[in-house]
Structure 1
């Protein structure tokens, strides 16, 4: 295929570009040229897509078989791109999020679960859920059944610039007693960015359309399995100290952000690691073992170093003081 990737230098976008090249696709990236560099064999168009005139000039009259878009900001930016490309691209794959579902996300929620209200012309980008849903509406309005909405869940793997799995790896690298949240058998639900990329590209090639929850099945890994894999790969001999959820709450530690990936097993958070992904699996989603994701992420961190923190996301990780306090409470 001849593919246009809007972005392409960070996390999922980078995984998309690498997978497309491995497939033998012709790849064009459009971005501001601020973060990362294009791999060999990729054409780069430098433009600020938030400027409609600049985007129009950069795209010219060219045509592509498929477009893949990872935008997380104002929906208006997605709408502008779709308006320019609707007659010049056969397929539009948009990396959305399961955050588009109304909170709290029901346990076992499928694609028909209620979604948040959103405006595809919205200029704001502060509400992540509304921004992603607005982006979905913009893509659907322009491409209809030629639109693939990948409602990704928790995304892990190499190039992660959110700081979830990288934080755990760096914490375990320091060694000592490490607060391990909840119980080791707590099921997780996530997708490796490379598996997400492969699924979206395969879907583009066969004209797959519609909305899909794109994340591995519930229990594809456990919190214990992930942290043990991280402990093994860092080789630091850290001690995992499993800490009940009530102690974590009493210590004032926030799940998900201060303790990345982990969420309590209750009605409010339960749906985040227990969604219905049968449609994506039936459409060919294949997920690699957690050990591979952890090992490859560690190899990337050692090779390229930690990426700069993203200004549009909260800083993830637990401070040493809070960790020590919680461990003292447990004792």
Structure 2
């Protein structure tokens, strides 16, 4: 198949492109050209999704399917979807987010049919993703699949999450955890997200909206234990930060709210099961250990908190 990937040169996009190539699809990526395209088998189109004219100039061929990794604002959809629809693209796979749900009004785990105003804890990100979804429905693609993952992790992650905490453990520094450590969150291995996209591109997932990720949820404290196990650290020192007026993201890689999705609809639709967190983190740690130094660089808030507790950040 001829597949157009919108984005394709960062963390999630790279895994998706690689998975598509593994299935012998012909892959074209469209982005602003700020990151190099890797691999001779990938064709690149350069355009700015905020500029409809540049999109029209760049996209002229007909594709069997489109995978949208970079659509994060309504204007990205408005400049792209009408053009692709006019070219006769039937199959559109959109990478959305579990941030479209509202944790203040929806019980856990969030099901796909819950309201999607976007959670204010994500700022404008969740509301913008929800707006993108609504616009895509308006353009009436015959085979529209929208995937909503929770936190995505894996080799090459460009978000400071698992590697942020590994850096502290390997430097024998304390890990600061919000509250009492019982906040529960959920994960999606990037390889699982890529595999789900490939399955949808092949037409093996019915049109619709699917939460995608590991069914299990983990407390912050359980997550730290899993990270330590993957890194071969016997025991990580955890300090709970009880002052919840301090934004968790100033010293911890996740927002302090329960973030759990119901993934059962995807399993019923034939989406393959992901690996468990322990396996996924072991693979991820091996990649980071081989490719980075995992440097410990405390945040300003982290240094201040440790100092207030009489603990040096060095």
Same fold (TM over 0.5): yes
* Kept in 2: contact 1:260–1:317 (CA 8 A): no
Q: Contact 2:224–2:236 at 8 Å: present in 1 too?
A: no
The residue that corresponds to 1:282 in the other structure is 268
Distance 1:179 1:17, change over 3 A: same
Q: How many Å apart are 1:100 and its aligned residue?
A: 1.3
1:213 aligns with 2:196: no
CA distance in 1: counterparts of 2:276 and 2:161, whole angstroms = 18
Gaps of at least 5 residues in structure 1 are 118-125, 264-268, 308-314
Alignment-derived partner of residue 59 in structure 1: 59
Q: Secondary structure at the match of 2:196?
A: helix
Q: CA deviation at 1:186?
A: 6.4
For residues 226 and 233 of structure 1, the distance between their equivalents in structure 2, rounded to whole angstroms, comes to: 11
Is contact 2:179–2:243 with CA below 8 Å preserved after alignment?
no
- 8 A Cα contact 1:67 1:93, kept in partner: yes
Cα deviation 1:49-86 (Å, max 9, x = unaligned)? 221111111112x1111100112432111122111111
> For 1:222-237, what aligned pairs fall within 5 Å after superposition?
223-235=220-232
Secondary structure at the residue paired with 1:50? coil
TM-score, normalised relative to structure 1: 0.79
Per the alignment, residue 147 of structure 1 pairs with: 144
* Paired position in structure 1 for 2:169: 172
CA, structure 1 residues 259+22, in 2 after alignment: closer, same or farther (shift >3 Å)? Answer: same
SS of equivalent to 1:159: coil
CA contact (8 A) 2:91 2:141 kept: no
- 2:72 aligned counterpart, secondary structure: coil
Shift of 1:172: 1.4
How far residue 205 of structure 1 moved from its aligned partner, in angstroms, is 0.8
Superposed, which structure 2 residues align to 1:124-163 within 5 Å?
A: 127-163=124-160
1:322 to 293, 302, 305: 305
Residue 70 of structure 1 is matched in structure 2 by 69
**C-alpha separation in 2, matches of 1:127 and 1:113:** 19
Tell me the matched-pair count. Answer: 300
Mapping of residues 10-29 of structure 1, within 5 Å: 10-29=10-29
Q: Deviations over 1:217-236 (max 9, x none)?
A: 133x5545543343244456
Q: Contact 2:165/2:175 (CA < 8 Å) preserved in 1?
A: no
Aligned-pair RMSD on alpha carbons?
Answer: 2.9
CA distances 1:255-274 after superposition (whole Å, capped 9, x unpaired): 356322474xxxxx33x13x
1:38 is matched with 38
Q: Is the 8 A contact 2:37 2:44 kept in 1?
A: no
Distance 1:67 1:257, change over 3 A: farther
Q: Tell me, yes or no, if the aligned pair for 1:72 and 1:131 is still in contact at 8 Å.
A: no
1:293 corresponds to which of 280, 283, 290: 280
Q: 1:120 — aligned with what?
A: none
With structure 2 as the length reference, what TM-score do the two structures score? Answer: 0.83
Mark the CA change 1:324 to 1:230 in structure 2 (over 3 Å): closer, same or farther.
Answer: farther
